[in-house]
Chains A and B, each alone.
Chain A
């Protein structure tokens, strides 16, 4: 494999155990992999496979019980809560299944949110960065729309713009198409592929095996371990798939 590329994420035998009552639940039983800059990785597994726990680890929302996780070269395990908050703010962009936009707030303000917690940005820089991110997801004409005036697809685009606004080392998508219909899901995949083509590192966590066909690499989890880690040599085009979908007919 081409090891000259920059390593964005490195997991070394990461284990995560939870204590539930008197029992110890082993959610991650030793996971090791590297993700390079510019990869579009799907992490796929059935429920209970540990993919949510892994996502929390990758997103620095949680720390490993054992092993070490390096995000962009920074070891995360011994970091304090506020240090991890700062790391999330600078290095990670989250896209959630249920969009999680602030209610009664405009698209621009929603996208500005991560920069609010970064003192390096002043108000005008924040707004400029937010507008740029919204344009990148194709919502340049919806800047002042409030979250309740948008469709699910538009809300998810705002959420993606919010994930991009801090120019993160990695975009973490958690079932980002889970709440959307087939057509809109493909529109999102087109967007993710576009971002991938622009050189973004994307990790897409999903239970849907179909999505793996559109990514450059697929990591399959089962019972807290990596079952399969395959490079996809035949990446399907989401745009083509979208074009071949039957055009929805109104009743």
Chain B
């Protein structure tokens, strides 16, 4: 029998039992929709995390003092004081794969202006800091080289700090606020970055020259970290190698000696995040895929009923010349048609579900390949679970089948 006629016969069989066919499709519809929605949520979250991280600079490299900690070993506090002015200067002088370098020291505390106060973080940084962290000045200026040399009592502040300390409006630039009782004159305001993907307010910051923070606030001679940016994201690994060499030389580490610093890149972090998201997505999709398996068993069940019901028809077809192959093709195409139609409807429902998720603020985008995979899986289910009933039909004895009541 030709393929076209087989399809006609299958469509007629499906339509002659509309409700039953729909019920067996329903399993596939739910399964496919679930898989599509799960994949969309996985993909969407991954993209949003990626977008957030790239907002912080994808080529950022952070050097922290101290070796990579291993479980349970307590490190000497002096190990956390290894990053010094000398390291910074050496990097500045020898960098090839690194464009920007800035020391970083941090302090948390209360900022006060008049009757208002707020808890915030003060970052001590160099001139390149804005370029590395992708901050922009919205109003006023950044501090200058001169400010760094003189440890000037100046700062730039984030939007949240402005809103907390100057609730009545007015231009904060030029005003002097106090951080841990040290007066700092505001020279600029940072452009807002909003919240990051783990809900941290990126605008609740103050930035001052690192010299100011080290000498006047923390009274320390070491950095809490050095921030760098690689020329491009792709050259991050080369930049890390270069920085490692410079620092090992500077710290006089020879041969087997373990690094007394740790270098982390944003790229690495993104990869870690991505792979975590991937794992979660896989778990979700596998759970959804089980519903597809159950749907397949449903189709097999219905096909077995259908074969038994149509025993007499099978006997007739065989006696007028249908071969076993013709009969098994007929039932296979029927089960493929049921599962593919279910697949198409499932993709549709999945698409609507994804729109619903997005409208509730859940990031979700359907990866195109997930649709293709759904169709492939549906065809496989149709063939896989239709095979046994189709074989049962094909192996019938025409003599018994034609007299079956």
Contact = CB atoms under 8 A, between A and B. Distances in A.
A202 B218 CA distance: 113
Contacts of B320: 88-89, 94, 113-114, 117, 162
B399 interface: yes
A96 B402 contact: yes
B195 to A, nearest CB: 63
Interface string B5-20: 1000000100010000
A100 B321 contact: no
Given A61-B398, A116-B5, A117-B1, A82 B317 contact: no
Interface string B293-327: 00000000000000000001101111111111110
Contacts of B319: 59, 61, 88, 94
A102 B322 CA distance: 14
Contacts of B1: 116-117
B104 to A, nearest CB: 80
Contacts of A94: 319-320
A102 B316 CA distance: 9
B324 to A, nearest CB: 6
Contacts of B313: 102
Given A59-B319, A116-B1, A100 B324 contact: no
A62 B399 contact: yes
Interface string A95-134: 0100010111100000001101111000000000000000
B324 A82 contact: yes
Contacts of B398: 61
Contacts of A117: 1, 317, 320-323, 326
A118 B398 CA distance: 18
Contacts of A113: 316-317, 320
A56 B399 contact: yes
Contacts of B16: 103-104
Contacts of B399: 56, 61-62
B226 to A, nearest CB: 79
B318 A85 contact: yes
Contacts of A96: 316, 402
A81 B316 contact: no
A119 to B, nearest CB: 8
A64 to B, nearest CB: 14
Closest 8 CB pairs of A and B: A89-B321, A114-B320, A117-B321, A82-B323, A85-B323, A100-B316, A61-B399, A88-B321
Given A82-B324, A104-B12, A117-B321, 14 more contacts: A56-B399, A61-B398, A85-B318, A85-B323, A86-B323, A89-B320, A89-B321, A96-B402, A100-B315, A102-B313, A104-B16, A113-B317, A117-B1, A117-B317
15 contacts: A82-B323, A85-B321, A85-B324, A88-B320, A96-B402, A100-B312, A102-B313, A102-B316, A116-B1, A116-B5, A117-B323, A117-B326, A118-B321, A162-B320, A166-B321
